[in-house]
Amino acid sequence: MKYFLSVVFVAHLWALSTSLTAAPAAFQPLQPLPAQPPIPPDNPQTPAKIALGKQLFFDPRLSVNGSLSCNSCHNVLAGGEDGRRQTPGAHGKPNPRSVPTLWNVAYFTAHYRDGRVDTLEQQVQDHLLSETEMGNANPAQILDKLRRIPGYVSQFTQVFGKEGLTYHTLAQAISAYERTLVTPNSRYDRYLRGKKQALSPQERRGLRAFVDTGCAACHFYVNLAGPVPGLAFQQGEGFYELFPNYVGSEYDSKYRLLDDPGRYRATGDETEKRFWRVPSLRNIAVTAPYFHNGAVNTLDEAVRVMAKTQLNKVLTEQQVQDIVAFLNSTTGEFPRTIMPRLPPSPNTTVLESSSSAP
Amino acid sequence: MKYFLSVVFVAHLWALSTSLTAAPAAFQPLQPLPAQPPIPPDNPQTPAKIALGKQLFFDPRLSVNGSLSCNSCHNVLAGGEDGRRQTPGAHGKPNPRSVPTLWNVAYFTAHYRDGRVDTLEQQVQDHLLSETEMGNANPAQILDKLRRIPGYVSQFTQVFGKEGLTYHTLAQAISAYERTLVTPNSRYDRYLRGKKQALSPQERRGLRAFVDTGCAACHFYVNLAGPVPGLAFQQGEGFYELFPNYVGSEYDSKYRLLDDPGRYRATGDETEKRFWRVPSLRNIAVTAPYFHNGAVNTLDEAVRVMAKTQLNKVLTEQQVQDIVAFLNSTTGEFPRTIMPRLPPSPNTTVLESSSSAP
């Protein structure tokens, strides 16, 4: 895996700053969200595959004891996460990192907050076995359960042919559904497409402050999270930043910003200590609490912390409020979705062996 | 609260037995599920109230730490329960009784497995405060959270006028949604309406065995759970049975049937030891595991246990399979539902105070 440091992108700042005063058509670094994200060639989207993946996404039987579905933590009825600082997995043990949103996850080129896996498919597989998430002991344990659910077996055969239900196709189906989790047409997107009135005067001031302060040096392109597939980056290449970049502020201890070594934990590479994948700011207003440890409850405080720790700047209260107003304009349109029906295991439960576990 | 013993209904057995040989129109004790359940006059259904209740039903912020929504345990994407023997509440402590289905709950005249509350509204309020369920300390704790979610405040004002968001209206909204959880038009219902071919020959044999064995002495009327509002019973009157009725079989210890004193735990009345509200058999094929403690995993075993413990009969394997086939025909039509969008608390989380709790 390669990664880029933001210094490479400082040149964008100039482009950003000038583009704000030019016609919207001239915007390059800030781009509206395309309605369709990149789709990997080896896992094409089909309606039947997406429908299957949606059922699996909402099915708590994917966790070891039936306690959690993907949606339990990545609540797509809301901001794609769960509003909690820490979230216990199926065994009751919390993941030390706060749940990130799944909305627009398909625009990322590396996954997890530390970018430790290249693809969504691999991330799904990891989640199923993580002891702080779905808690299954091994792939066989989960496949055994799903093979006792006739409606899944038949759908996997229909969608994947002879391969049917395997650990590989399981991850493919869920990932296909996750790639439909996109929120286009926010007011910010409409503004970028030329509808100036889509943003209020305060929101436009906020966008200007967002760029002038330097936030957009990292939070740019379609997902406000840096490069995306086909735009400079390939799948597997992550866009990482040091956080805190300026160590020594009061926030380090107040929000325990130095406790988690970030990407170093995954790679063991000393030069990657406290490096994190730049997160998307889309829908940020509806995904509190903030940061990898969920230590900050409010968006205005998160903006203050970022300005200080990343750019060594202290914003005025007006700037903070303006930037928060702008960030609220990135909340997109959430798709209207029919609730899936989960296929039954008639006359029995597939959870009997561990149904008493917490 | 009054209750009736099944001996009152033994007269039905004769009616049932003869009605099976007569024209379907003659059925009285076995009746199809009406598409609309009884609605209490003090909580009329309106589309806006149901839509609000649906959001609340799916919102994990109703639990003390954001870990559980009503739907987490009463999964209406499936059988209205969670397929688990026991289910820990928001604080991690399991309820000793297995989660019952919410489908067709509106046809009950008393609520909980022991019928200890009269109305769905009261049950909702109890769940919010139960330490083995939603785990809130008191009504104020939950109302404080919800009042910080603008989309709820405005909807409660719209639906309930000047009363707005209170603990009373909160329960009313959720109950209104729960009264939409009905599954009419099962094959069994179509059979009762005169479409004989809606049941296969085995299923018809099963229905006959179900009646002749005596199961229908308790499992009758629209919900296969005894009297309903307007049909002999009023709201608050529960239909209770002793279980096990015949003590001494191998099942007592195998499935720990004597451990839980049932209704006695709620009333302290010695004469109500091991009395339980007769549960509905609708959708029973998709609500394993079985019984108040979830101790039995499969429906065929549940049928064997019931015949022995309630009627002191040992069924042939053919009879068991026939009855199981018949019970599968009661699985109804589940409504096609649009997923709710949960209103946000912009720029903050309402879960901060307890977000690290398990």
Q: Which two tokens stand for residue B101?
A: 């289905």
B355 touching A (Cβ < 8 Å): yes
- From the CA of A51, how many Å to the nearest CA of chain B? 14
Tens of pLDDT, residue by residue over A114-156, are: 999 999 999 999 999 999 999 999 999 999 999 999 999 999 9
Tens of pLDDT, residue by residue over B57-114, are: 999 999 999 999 999 999 999 999 999 999 999 999 999 999 999 999 999 999 999 9
Query: Is B133 one of the catalytic residues?
Result: yes
Pairing of strands B228-229, B94-95: unpaired
Residue B358 has pLDDT above 50, yes or no: no
- From the CA of B320, how many Å to the nearest CA of chain A? 12
Contact B342 A75 (CB under 8 A): yes
Confidence of residue B8 (pLDDT cuts 50, 70, 90): very low
Mean pLDDT calculated for residue range B249-266: 97
Which of A61, A286, A358 is the closest to B88 by Cβ? A358
Contact A65 B84 (CB under 8 A): yes
Pairing of strands B94-95, B87-88: antiparallel
Q: Annotate B76-109 with DSSP letters as a single string.
A: TTTTSS-S-SSEE-TTSPEESSPPPP-TTGGG-S
The whole-number pLDDT of residue B15 equals 52
Q: B346 — alpha (psi -120 to 50), left (phi > 0) or beta?
A: beta
The whole-number pLDDT of residue A22 equals 46
Residue type at position A112: Y
Q: Please name the residue of chain B whose CA is at the shortest distance from the CA of residue A327.
A: B347
What predicted TM-score, i.e. pTM, was given to this entire model?
0.93
Residues 6+ apart with CB under 8 A from B106: B37, B38, B39, B120, B178, B179, B181, B182
Residue A271 has pLDDT above 90, yes or no: yes
A86 touching B (Cβ < 8 Å): yes
Looking at the DSSP bridge assignments, the partners of residue A232 are A228
Task: Report the C-alpha gap between A345 and B11 in whole angstroms.
Answer: 36
Per CB-CB distance under 8 Å, the chain B contacts of A88 are: 67, 358
Sign, Cα dihedral of A252, A253, A258, A260: negative
Tens of pLDDT, residue by residue over A233-259, are: 888 899 999 999 999 999 999 999 999
Task: Report the C-alpha gap between A304 and B347 in whole angstroms.
Answer: 13
Residue A102 has pLDDT above 60, yes or no: yes
Of all residues in chain A, the percent with pLDDT exceeding 90 is 87
Test the B interface: residue of A349, A351, A352, A355 with most B CBs within 10 Å: A349
Q: A248 — alpha (psi -120 to 50), left (phi > 0) or beta?
A: left
Tens of pLDDT, residue by residue over A277-310, are: 999 999 999 999 999 999 999 999 999 999 999 9
Test the A interface: residue of B57, B84, B93 with most A CBs within 10 Å: B84
Start-to-end CA distance of chain A, whole Å, equals 37
Task: Report the C-alpha gap between A286 and A299 in whole angstroms.
Answer: 9
Q: What is the mean pLDDT of chain B?
A: 92
- From the CA of B352, how many Å to the nearest CA of chain A? 7
Secondary structure of residue B232 in the 3-state scheme: strand
Task: Give the lowest-confidence range in A61-65, A102-106, A197-201, A354-358.
Answer: A354-358
A45, B307 in Cβ contact below 8 A?
no
A82 touching B (Cβ < 8 Å): yes
Sign, Cα dihedral of B175, B177, B180, B183: negative
Task: Report the C-alpha gap between B297 and A58 in whole angstroms.
Answer: 23
Contact A84 B350 (CB under 8 A): no
The whole-number pLDDT of residue A233 equals 81
Tens of pLDDT, residue by residue over B296-337, are: 999 999 999 999 999 999 999 999 999 999 999 999 999 999
Pairing of strands A94-95, A87-88: antiparallel
Q: Please name the residue of chain B whose CA is at the shortest distance from the CA of residue A358.
A: B88
Task: Report the C-alpha gap between B145 and B65 in whole angstroms.
Answer: 11
Q: Which of residues 34-63 of B touch A (CB under 8 A)?
A: 58-61
Distance of CA B45 to the CA centre of its chain: 20
| Closest of A323, A304, A307 to residue A209, by C-alpha | A323
Residue A12 has pLDDT above 60, yes or no: no
Q: What are phi and psi of B62, to 5 degrees?
A: -70, -20
CA trace torsion A101, A106, A112, A118 (10° rounding): 170
Q: How many helices (H) and strands (E) does chain B have?
A: 13, 7
Exposure letters A274-295 (e unless 16+ CB within 10 A, then b): bbbbbbbbbbbbbbbbbbbbbb
> How many Cβ pairs within 8 Å bridge chains A and B?
150
B351 touching A (Cβ < 8 Å): yes
Just list the catalytic residues of A: 133
Tens of pLDDT, residue by residue over A67-95, are: 999 999 999 999 999 999 999 999 999 99
Q: Which two tokens stand for residue B154?
A: 């405005």
Tens of pLDDT, residue by residue over B194-239, are: 999 999 999 999 999 999 999 999 999 999 999 877 767 888 899 9
| Closest of A46, A52, A88, A51 to residue A68, by C-alpha | A88
Contact B351 A60 (CB under 8 A): no
Q: Which of residues 94-133 of A touch B (CB under 8 A)?
A: 94
A31, A97 in Cβ contact below 8 A?
no
Residues 6+ apart with CB under 8 A from A243: A257, A262, A274, A275, A276, A292, A309, A310
**DSSP state, B275?**
E
Task: Report the C-alpha gap between B220 and B232 in whole angstroms.
Answer: 13
B300 touching A (Cβ < 8 Å): yes
The whole-number pLDDT of residue B20 equals 55
Contact B285 A82 (CB under 8 A): no
Confidence of residue B353 (pLDDT cuts 50, 70, 90): low
Residue A7 has pLDDT above 50, yes or no: no
SS (H, E, C) chain A: CCEECHHHHHHHHHHHHHHHHCCHHHCCCCCCCCCCCCCCCCCCCCHHHHHHHHHHHCCHHHCCCCCCCHHHHCCCCCCCCCCCCCEECCCCCEECCCCCCCCCHHHCCCECCCCCECCHHHHHHHHHHCCCCCCCCCHHHHHHHHCCCHHHHHHHHHHHHHHCCCHHHHHHHHHHHHCCCCCCCCHHHHHHCCCHHHCCHHHHHHHHHHHHHCHHHCCCCCCCCCCEECEEECCCCEEEEECCCCCCCCHHHHCCCCCCCEHHHHHCCHHHCCEEECCCCCCHHHCCCECCCCCECCHHHHHHHHHHHHHCCCCCHHHHHHHHHHHHCCCCCCCCCECCCCCCCCCCCCCHHHCCCC
Confidence of residue B148 (pLDDT cuts 50, 70, 90): very high
Q: Which of residues 239-298 of B touch A (CB under 8 A)?
A: 285-286, 288-289, 294, 297-298
Contact B83 A66 (CB under 8 A): yes
- Give CA separation, B67 vs A59, A242, A277, A301, in Å: 16, 32, 27, 25
Contact A83 B61 (CB under 8 A): yes
Q: Which two tokens stand for residue A66?
A: 């039936």
Q: What residue ranges in chain B does DSSP mark as E strands?
A: 3-4, 87-88, 94-95, 228-229, 232-233, 238-242, 275-277
Task: Report the C-alpha gap between B33 and B125 in whole angstroms.
Answer: 27
Confidence of residue A194 (pLDDT cuts 50, 70, 90): very high
The whole-number pLDDT of residue B227 equals 86
